[in-house]
A and B are shown apart, each in its own frame.
Chain A
Amino acid sequence: MMMTQTTKITNPAIDVTDLTVAYHEKPVLWDVDFQAPQDTLLAIVGPNGAGKSTLIKTILGLLKPAAGRIQVFGKNYRPQSRLIGYVPQKGTVDWDFPTNVLDVVLMGRYGHLGWFRRPKVEDRKMAVDCLEKVGMADFMNRQISQLSGGQQQRVFIARALIQDAPIYLMDEPFAGVDAATERSIITLLRELKDKGKTIICVHHDLQTLKEYFEWVMLLNVRAVALGKVTDILTQENLRKTYGGKAAFLTGLKEEEEKGHASA
């Protein structure tokens, strides 16, 4: 199956070629090509089990691919180069761990600090700055077990911000957060993009896709389509991605038709 790609990408931030990843012989990603242009907001969209998190983790070097090549800014990627800030799904850690918010954010500096070295005053200052950006500065001494889901997410984003990387990979940053937090997160992501950062999010909500993101990759084990949201988000592509389960997308279909009528 050929992937639909509408726009040619030059100098991509991330360039994935022929990537195959398998767990116990079962392919999770099959021959995936994926390019993320620089300085954009890109969403990875697909049904459960489509391999979205796997794609992110493989790019980060957390999973070994069975085949394929991953390049970041034209070079083979190693996590030590610290070009990518990572926001994992917030459910992947034990929030009852005995530590506070500031400490978690400081973990984002560990890569810069190198071995043996402890965070210094400047690192703490940076951590407070990053907490301010996500509106969590008042919570810096709070136990992490006392945070709500939205607050946990913002702490994780602050921890990625302190890495000050040119690329951010975020696994479902909007999952389980309230509407107000979602607004503040998307505002923050747009600011990052305006500063020339590349932000790639696993995203689930097709309703907000057009509003939040410029670029989208549709994924279901294979890469289905990649391009500007306005070009890619068609009924046809969604059916290819979600299979027969696309019936719930009628709202989008009407919009699409309206779009055609006005064009």
Chain B
Amino acid sequence: MLLLNTIAEFFQNYTIQIVFTGSLILGITAGCLGTFAVLRQQSLLGDAIAHATLPGVCLAFLITQTKNPFVLLLGAGISGWIASLFLKLIVENTKLKKDAALGIILSVFFGLGLLLITIVQKLPTATKAGLDKFIFGNAATLLKQDVMMMSAFSIFIFLVLIVFWKEFKILVFDRDYAASQGMPVHFFDVFLTTLIVIAIVIGLQTVGVVLMSAMLVAPAAAARQWTDRLGVMLFLSALFGAISGTFGAITSSMVSNLPTGPTIVIFLSIFVLVSLVFAPNRGLLWDWIRSYRNRKTILTTTMLQNLLLFSEIQTDPFHPHDISALKAIGRGAIDKTMKELSRKGWAQQFEDKRWALTPKGLDKARKLTKEYEETISGFSSA
């Protein structure tokens, strides 16, 4: 009860409410769009666009001399969008590869942004412009009007995703095929990228330009590990984004001078790590277990067949044999394998250390050999 009260009190705090809501919206929106970015193999596109928003923020401030977040974020959006168009132009019209184009766009725009931010900070009128929060993010400075704006944008994004679900799906999976059916793929390319720009702009104040792409890529990459359905992946990605976003933002706003972006990234990396290792089927742990089991099956099968060969030397198939010759071939794994065989009741060891098949083992060995021969003949007849 006490804990619940503490939590309830905690959420009555106005700043916490704002930070919580803002980062929740951001996490969900970025998680959803990140799914498409990751599946399009455009994970770095978000990074380039995010970095490219910085000059827009600075120019908007220099031109209007206001700190109005709407104006600054509009500048950010325009400059991010221009960067994404440049990127498309470079990739489609020059021989430069995508990664080179991304590198160029990211560094040129970000460099320009850093230059402008230095100019801004030297202006006497702008001593407290606070534009540097756009670099690493500061959730604690979010205002109610910021959160309202973020909600409006993210509702727009959700509506678009619902309406154009199948269009985006086919665009990501097989763009040429979509075009062959008359779908305006260039329009949808730009449209999807525009949505990604919007999601990035939503996150700029909270996460900052440097780490914003993590909000897009990390939840989606983690979500991909757990499912093979696009819809489920989108949901999980939004969930992971929401949890990391809120935890990170609240932690950073409770500790002074802790930038929000890096804190969120710490939480995100926990999701990514756990997903990479423990997810069923795609996880590393699963891989290790599978290859261990495969190896064991191969070893026991081979050994059983070797024993079958031995048993055919004598009229009594259960006559014990010395297997030291096999040890030379199978190295250390032989002892373990033999133990496994006797555990399964397929082979038994006599007091003189010699081994023989059991009746059950003989059946199994014959069955395996037959199956193997059928597979081989199946291949050759196909």
Tell whether A and B belong to one assembly.
yes
Would B229 and A80 count as touching, CB distance under 8 A?
A: no
CB 8 Å contact bits of A74-96 with B (1 = contact, 0 = none): 00001111101010100011100
A179 close to B (CB within 8 Å)? yes
Cβ A97 vs Cβ B39 within 8 A:
yes
A110 at the interface (CB under 8 A from B): yes
Report whether B182 and A88 are in contact in the complex, using a CB–CB cutoff of 8 Å.
no
Distance in angstroms between the alpha carbons of A93 and B169 in the assembled complex: 13
Instruction: Tell me if B174 is interfacial: C-beta within 8 Å of chain A.
Output: yes
Q: Which residue of A lies closest to B381 (CB)?
A: A180
| A78–B179 alpha-carbon span in the complex (Å) | 10
Do A107 and B382 contact each other (CB < 8 Å), given the known contacts A60-B179, A62-B180? no
The reply to whether B181 and A88 contact each other, CB–CB distance below 8 Å, is no
With contacts A98-B229, A98-B230, A118-B166 taken as known, whether A93 is within 8 angstroms of B173 at the C-beta atoms is yes
Instruction: Identify A86's interface contact among B172, B180, B229, CB under 8 A.
Output: B180
Flag whether B233 is at the interface (Cβ < 8 A): yes
Q: A87: shortest Cβ distance to chain B, in Å?
A: 9
Contacts A98-B229, A100-B228 known; A80 to B182 CB distance under 8 Å? Answer: yes
Contact assessment for B182 and A82 in the assembled complex, using a CB-CB cutoff below 8 Å:
yes
A84 touches B228 (CB 8 A): no
Q: Are A97 and B172 interface neighbours, CB within 8 A?
A: yes
Taking a contact as CB atoms under 8 Å apart, the answer to whether A84 and B174 are in contact is no
Cβ of A86 and Cβ of B182 under 8 Å apart? no
| Inter-subunit contact B182/A79 (CB<8 Å) | yes
A49 within 8 A of B: no
Q: Which residues of A contact B227 (CB under 8 A)?
A: 98
Q: Report A-chain residues with C-beta under 8 Å of the C-beta of B179.
A: 60-62, 79
Q: Does A115 contact B (CB under 8 A)?
A: yes
- Closest residue on chain B to residue A99 by CB atoms: B230
Chain B proximity of A255: nearest CB distance (Å): 27
Q: Which of B290-319 contact A (CB under 8 A)?
A: none
Judge whether B167 is part of the interface by a CB distance below 8 angstroms.
yes
Instruction: With both chains docked as a complex, state the minimum distance between the C-beta of B222 and any C-beta of chain A, in angstroms.
Output: 13
Residues of chain B with a CB closer than 8 A to A194's CB = none
State which of A79, A116, A119, A179 has its C-beta within 8 Å of the C-beta of B180.
A79
Flag whether B95 is at the interface (Cβ < 8 A): yes
Q: Does A143 touch B at the CB level, under 8 Å?
A: yes
Interface pair B183/A111, CB less than 8 Å apart: yes
The complex places the Cα of A159 from the Cα of B148 at a distance, in Å, of 44
**What is the CA–CA distance of A60 and B230 in the complex, to the nearest angstrom?**
28
Q: Which residues on the B side are within 8 Å of A111 (C-beta)?
A: 181-183
- Chain A residues positioned under 8 Å from B161 (CB to CB): none
Residues of the B chain whose Cβ atoms lie less than 8 Å from the Cβ of A78: 182
- Interface membership of B254, Cβ < 8 A: no
A163 at the interface (CB under 8 A from B): yes
Q: Is the CB of B182 within 8 A of A107?
A: no
B228 and A98: CB pair below 8 A?
Answer: yes
A contact residues, total (Cβ < 8 Å): 37
By DSSP majority rule, is chain B's interface helix, strand, loop, or mixed? helix
Residues of A contacting B: mostly: mixed
Q: Which of B39, B180, B230 contacts A61 (CB 8 A)?
A: B180
Measured in the bound complex, the distance between the Cα atoms of B230 and A115 in whole Å is 19
B51 close to chain A: CB less than 8 A: no
**Cβ of A135 to closest chain B Cβ, rounded Å:** 14
A residues within 8 A CB of B180?
A: 60-62, 79, 84, 86
Q: Which chain B positions have C-beta within 8 A of A126?
A: none
Cβ A99 vs Cβ B229 within 8 A: yes
Q: Is the CB of A62 within 8 A of B176?
A: yes
- Give Cα distance in the complex from A79 to B180, angstroms: 6
Q: A residues within 8 A CB of B166? A: 107, 110, 113, 118-119
- Judged by a CB distance under 8 angstroms, whether B163 is at the interface is yes
For chain B residues 212-247, which have a beta carbon within 8 Å of chain A? 224, 227-230, 232-233
Question: Which residues on B sit within 8 Å (CB–CB) of A88?
Answer: 174, 176-177
Answer whether residue A104 sits at the interface, using C-beta atoms and an 8 A cutoff: yes
Does A193 lie at the interface of the complex (its beta carbon under 8 Å from any beta carbon of B)? no
CB neighbours of B233 from chain A (8 A): 98
Asked if A178 is at the interface (CB within 8 A of a chain B CB), the reply is: yes
| In the complex, residue of chain B having the shortest beta-carbon distance to the beta carbon of A181 | B382
Chain A, Cβ-Cβ closest to B166: A110
30 contacts between A and B (CB under 8 A): A57-B176, A60-B180, A62-B180, A79-B180, A79-B182, A80-B182, A82-B182, A88-B174, A88-B176, A92-B176, A94-B41, A97-B39, A98-B39, A98-B224, A98-B230, A98-B232, A99-B229, A99-B230, A107-B170, A107-B174, A107-B178, A108-B181, A110-B166, A110-B167, A111-B181, A115-B164, A118-B165, A143-B228, A145-B228, A180-B382
Other A-B contacts than A86-B180, A99-B169, A107-B177, 15 sampled, CB-CB below 8 A, are A60-B179, A60-B180, A62-B179, A79-B179, A84-B180, A88-B176, A97-B230, A98-B228, A99-B173, A99-B230, A100-B229, A107-B178, A110-B170, A115-B164, A143-B228
Q: Which 4 A-B pairs have the closest CB atoms?
A: A111-B181, A80-B182, A79-B182, A86-B180
